[in-house]
Amino acid sequence: MKEAASSRPLALDTLAVHAGQPPDPVSGAVMQPIVLASTFAQSAPGEHRGFEYSRSGNPTRNALEACIAALEKGKHGFAFSSGLGASTTILHTLKPGDHVLSGDDVYGGTFRLLDKVLAPMGITSTFVDMSNPDDVARAIRKETKMVWLETPTNPMLKIFDIAAVADIAKKQGARVVVDNTFATPVLQSPLDLGATAVLHSTTKYLNGHSDVVGGAIVTSDEALAERVRFLQNAMGAVPSPFDCYMVLRGIKTLSVRMERACASAAAIAEKLAGHAKVERVYFPGLASHRGHAIAKKQMRGFGAMITFVLKGGLESSR
């Protein structure tokens, strides 16, 4: 018997175009309106139509949050004014005395946040190469409340086994946050692999046009979602409605852009690997990459980022 169309899950390409964005009930517009209002009318004190003040919630932001949550297969999405705004907010679910176990190769802004901002507040961090899950098991502590990893990492493109790391963390009762910026939901689904939350700099691939700075968090953990929702409003690192619209626009072409970018990266990496002036190429799609097998297992493509080392160092590159 042929499966009913209504029972089939929507493909990622369809979600990228439509998730969280039904036609406008007033005008019928098929594109999400940009609602710039800071304040919304109330029929009586505390009685409104779901919106009261745009820091607390905005229709355009809600659409973006629902769209990203659908792409990441999560229940709750939260949009922020930058990737670091998202990172700062979720890290504020911790308290003094808590410990973060982080991958050793993380975005510089994340390292600065952990080492220079949170450490003086009594939230400590340890940085470890998570390529071998046994090293994660040895580094985790009883006070570890969050395990933080990028995969592929920025900038050395290390690959960490999300499922293996998540299994170790959950036995300790620690939440697992995966920065999925480099992979995007087109290539990798961390929540399916055991992560508690997914984080994005929407500035990068999700927006894709170098004209927005933004961030996002997605989770299906109800307790974490409740706390992040409170902190999003209390700390105020929210994006403008226009930026939300721009990211929604960019997401509509995410899948086709990633397909082309990944194909280009694979071809460029192969060329660089055979170039006489290149000492080493770091690209998960190369069989020589240490994390190639794990990337092949947990990703639907190898990404579009390449790191390479020139022979002779900086001087020879000038």
89: enclosing H helix or E strand: helix 83-91
Mean local confidence (pLDDT), 64-93 = 98
Percent of the chain with pLDDT over 70: 98
Q: What is the mean pLDDT of residues 188-214?
A: 98
User: pLDDT-derived band of residue 1, with 50, 70 and 90 as boundaries?
Assistant: very low
Tokens of 116: 């220079």
Q: Which of 73, 170, 204, 249 is an active site residue? A: 204
Gap between the Cα atoms of 232 and 89, Å rounded = 7
Give tens-digit pLDDT for 216-259: 999 999 999 999 999 999 999 999 999 999 999 999 999 999 99
Q: CB-based contacts of 121: which residues, under 8 Å, 6+ apart?
A: 96
| Model pLDDT, residue 232 | 98
Give the residue among 23, 15, 22, 17 at the shortest CA–CA distance from 74.
15
- Enumerate the β-bridge partners of residue 59: none
Q: May I ask the CATH architecture of the domain 12-251? A: 3-Layer(aba) Sandwich (3.40)
Instruction: Measure Cα distances from 272 to 101, 148, 159, 282, 305 in Å.
Output: 34, 31, 20, 10, 13
Can you tell me whether residue 242 is helix, strand or coil? Answer: helix
Model's pTM, two decimal places? Answer: 0.95
Tens-digit pLDDT profile for residues 49-62: 889 999 999 999 99
Least confident of 41-55, 58-72, 180-194, 295-309: 41-55
For the residues 54-81, what does the mean pLDDT come to?
A: 98
* Domain 255-317 listed as CATH 3.90.1150.10: yes
Please pick, among 107, 205, 245, 282, the residue that the annotation labels catalytic.
107
For residue 4, pLDDT over 80 is answered with no
* Cα 53 from Cα 240, distance rounded (Å): 12
Least confident of 5-14, 77-86, 204-213: 5-14
| Spatial contact of 88 and 228, defined as CB atoms under 8 Å apart | no
CA distance 262 to 187: 10
Q: CA 265, CA 271: separation in Å to the nearest integer?
A: 10
- Predicted pLDDT at 6: 59
What residue ranges do the domains of the chain occupy?
12-251, 255-317
- Distance separating alpha carbons of residues 24 and 212, to the nearest angstrom: 24
Q: Which entry of 98, 105, 161, 179 is annotated as an active-site residue? A: 179
pLDDT value of position 318 = 80
- The torsion region of residue 234 among left (phi > 0), alpha (psi -120 to 50) and beta comes to alpha
116 is catalytic: no
Q: Which residues pair with 308 in a beta bridge?
A: 281
- In eight-state DSSP terms, residue 118 is I
DSSP state of 284: T
Count helices and strands in the chain by DSSP H and E runs = 12, 9
Among residues 55, 73, 249, 252, the one annotated as catalytic is 55
Q: Which two tokens stand for residue 58?
A: 């905005």
| Tokens describing residue 67 | 């769209």
Is 55 one of the catalytic residues?
yes
Predicted pLDDT of residue 317: 80
Buried b (16+ CB within 10 A) or exposed e, 120-134: eeebbbebbebbebe
Mean pLDDT of 19-36: 92
Strand bridging mode 175-179 / 197-201? parallel
